[in-house]
Structures are given as structure tokens and as C-alpha cells.
Amino acid sequence: MKEILLVDKPAGWTSFDVVAKIRGMLRAKYTSEGHTPTKKQLKVGHAGTLDPFATGLLIVLLGDATKRSDEFLKLDKVYEATMTLGSVSSTGDPEGEIVPISDHKPSRQSVEVALAQFIGEIEQRPPMHSAIKIDGQRAYKLARKGQEVEMPLRKVTIHSIELLQYDYPEVKIRTNVSSGTYIRSLARDIGDYLDIGAYCSDLRRISIDKWNIEDAAPIENIDL
């Protein structure tokens, strides 16, 4: 049985949905072979959450490999993201309340200048709708209750940002970032720098260190 699976997560699925699906596939595989699986054999985890709206590489760990999750969480990651300019989102993504801010259309040069401001080590404030714990509770749960919480700043490193396409209001980028970086926060901050607002409207994880999306399979094609 494999211990590390590379899954191309579809949009609309939570990372936990993927874990639950693979656990069910494992149970079915053992049962079809005439075995009753142990708890250890059904142990499944993932190494780095992807937001439900996001797609791309999700590393799923099986059995003893679940003990190594921290190794993967600390690795650099590469994302391709689309930012929509001129509006903000309550969650930083398409699933939140979208509010128009400005109809100003910045030049490509202005966008490139804005992107450059965020390369290197920066201080970033994670979005309220995130899994970070505040006083023992997940921030997104507090947000859903309507509670306003000041999210603590954290230092992250943006190794590179490449402008792939600009067709107002959409800006498509590829960015290599350190562990702990929120692309939704990056999009929000770029929008703030341009003074027109922005949110992350599409997100795809391309790689986690040496593991690449090209080697991943859709959930329905996973080979156990």
C-alpha cells in the first residue's frame, strides 16, 4: 500500500472531503480482498490544507506517513492565482460577500510595481476566515458567528511573483511562497496597495517543494 498520494483536488471539495473519500476507498479495498482493516490501516491525513474553492496539489498521507505531516507543512509552495481587481470579498475569495470598491483600471506597469512590493520577507495578516486558532477556537468559526477578531501579523516570505496575464479586472500570477503564506491575504494587500481593492477569485497549487501537480491524479483516478 502506498504511503504518499498526490491528489489534484477539485474545486468545491474541502481537504477533509478528500481524506474521507480516500479512507472510504481504503476500507472498500481491504473489504473486497476479504480483510477487516485496522484503525492504523485506515489512518489518513493531509499535508497542507487547500481552501474549498482552490484546486491543485494536495499531499495525502497514509498509515505511518501521517506522522510526517509537519515535514511537508514547512515546505515552500508554488501557486497560480487570479486576483479580481476593484472589489473586495468578506472571505478573500469568491465564496464571500463581494463588494465593489473602485472602477479605476490600473496600467500593467502599475500592477507590476504593486507585485514587486511584496517580494521578500513581509508581514502578513491572515484572513479571518482561516483555520488559525484564536484563544483555542478556529478563526473561521468566530467569523461565522459575526465576531470581529484582530488576526495577528506573521512574517512570511514571497520568493517570487510572476505576472502571467493582465486583462482587467483579472490579474493572473504565479508565486513561490514560504509555509504559512495566505494567497487570499496577498491578493487583498495588493488591492490595498493599488487603492482599488482585490480578492483571490481563483487559486491552484502547482507544487510543494519537489512534489508537482503534474504527478498528481484526480480523486477518481487515485491508485491505492
pTM over 0.85: yes
Q: What does the pLDDT read at residue 2?
A: 82
Q: What does the pLDDT read at residue 139?
A: 53
Q: Is 51 a catalytic residue?
A: yes
Domain ranges in the chain are 4-74+210-221, 77-208
Q: How far apart are CA 183 and CA 127, in angstroms?
A: 10
Q: What does the pLDDT read at residue 223?
A: 86
Per DSSP, 151 falls in state P
Q: What does the pLDDT read at residue 40?
A: 87
Question: Considering only the top CATH level, what class is 4-74+210-221?
Answer: alpha beta
Residue tagged 474521507 (cell numbers): 20
H or E segment and range at residue 14: none
Query: In which residue ranges of the chain is pLDDT below 70?
Result: 1, 128-148, 150-151
Q: What does the pLDDT read at residue 147?
A: 60
Residue 100 CB partners (closer than 8 Å, separation 6+): 86, 87
| Given the residues 8, 17, 51, 192, the one annotated as active site | 51
Q: What does the pLDDT read at residue 210?
A: 95
Measuring CA to CA, which residue among 12, 4, 38 is closest to residue 223?
A: 4
Q: What does the pLDDT read at residue 126?
A: 84
CATH of domain 77-208: 3.30.2350.10
Are domains 4-74+210-221 and 77-208 of this chain identical in fold?
A: yes
Q: What does the pLDDT read at residue 5?
A: 96
